[in-house]
Amino acid sequence: MNRIYNFSAGPGTLPVPVLEEASQSVLEFQNSGMSILELSHRGKWYDPVHAEAQAQVLATLGLSESEYALALLGGGASLQFAMLPLNFLGAGQTADYVDAGEWGAKAIGEARRVGTVHLAGSSKTTNYDRLPELTPSGNARYFHLTTNNTIEGTQVFALPKTGGAPLIADASSDIFGVDRDYSQFDLIYAGAQKNAGPAGVTMVVVRKSFLETAHKDLAPMLSYQTQCEKQSLYNTPPVFPIYVLGLTLKWIAAEGGVAAIAARNQAKAEAIYDALDACAPVFSSCVAIKEHRSWMNLTFRVATAELEKAFLAEAVAAGMDGLPGHRNVGGFRASIYNAFPMAGCDALAALIRDFARRKG
């Protein structure tokens, strides 16, 4: 197996032991005589896979099954932008949203179809180069934020005061990667494909007391109550992505859980940020405030277009893929999710230092 350093923003790097076990199961799942891809989603082989993955999501977040319900859904985090207001917002009701990046802006667009959005803060006028100051409305149905702004490279480390509103998070790009008190949230959603598995499954974790307040008159596929009551088996679930999510969560547990992964993520990010800071003005971070810099997506620029081209060519030659920034932002973005190895961060940091020494 030839592994390069994959800095892709998503789908992202998965742990090698997970890939090995999953590839074996594609040929034959345990002793079933069948591939994982061929198993009925209502049968004795898949039942425990499903139940374990569901239980592991809550356990990894440190949440209890008595307090929280869960659904594993298709449709990506983007479907959650729409499902959340459909379930909890009504005409004439207000939800608070933080406008700190493109994904948050998309979530806001979906909420506006259903009800009124109060912008609790926005950093749009500075191209989302920082996290905004926040002012909750004080009468919101819920308060929505994106914990990590994948495209812009900012991350929320201290959870905000919501003025009493239930706290909702799009944690697609930092779930299981930061050691948070997840019980502060009433609902957390995250696509698996950045930090926890392949594309195709999205985790939705919701406090049961909050879930009870959801609208009842929805199409069942769009109803959190139905999806949670049916244990994500209202229809055929994304069997293979759920299986790989379960394997990844077992890997996280074996590595020491979220606390250990988070400590490693911080060290990985610091190795690269230290190099960027030491190599100004050839390199510069895109984030204006140091405390807002993400551990997961590190956005940076090289001083001139010519140097940018040269740096990219050297990175590719050194076996580093996926570094160009999002098409709307430009520059570079190193996405170093939970399974991305420290060695890859050290290699990028070394290249940054070496490049600046030669070109600076």
Ligand X SMILES: *Cc1c(COP(=O)(O)O)cnc(C)c1O
Contact positions toward ligand X, by CB under 6 A? 10, 76-78, 103, 146, 150, 170, 172-173, 191, 194
Q: Which is nearer to ligand X, 162 or 335 (CB)?
A: 335
What residue type is assigned to position 125 of the chain?
Answer: T
Catalytic residue among 99, 174, 186, 194: 194
Q: CB 65 → ligand X: shortest distance, Å?
A: 25
Encoded tokens for 347: 């290699």
Which helix H or strand E contains 259, and what residues bound it?
Answer: helix 257-278
Please check whether residue 240 is in contact with residue 198, taking contact to mean a CB–CB distance below 8 angstroms. yes
Q: How far is the CB of 170 from ligand X (least distance, A)?
A: 5
**100 or 282, CB closer to ligand X?**
100
Task: Indicate the residue whose CB is closest to ligand X.
Answer: 76
Q: How far is the CB of 51 from ligand X (least distance, A)?
A: 24
Q: How far is the CB of 208 from ligand X (least distance, A)?
A: 24
Out of 96, 99, 103, 251, pick the active-site residue. 103
Nearest CB to ligand X, comparing residues 90 and 109? 109
The least distance separating ligand X from the CB of residue 309, rounded to whole angstroms, comes to 27
d(CA 133, CA 105): 16
- Using the minimum distance from each CB to ligand X, give the nearer residue, 25 or 173: 173
Q: Is 194 an annotated catalytic residue?
A: yes
H, E, C per residue of 62-128: CCCCCCEEEEEECCHHHHHHHHHHHHHCCCCCEEEEEECCHHHHHHHHHHHHHCEEEEEEECHHHCC
Distance CA 182, CA 82 (A): 22
Sequential DSSP letters for 207-239: EHHHHTTS-SSS-GGG-HHHHHHTTT-SS---H
By C-beta, is 152 or 352 nearer to ligand X?
152
- Of 99, 170, 174, 186, the catalytic one is 170
Distance CA 188, CA 182 (A): 8
Q: Is 103 a catalytic residue?
A: yes
- Of 301, 304, 302, 274, the closest CA to residue 290 belongs to 274
170 tagged catalytic: yes
Active site residues: 103, 170, 194
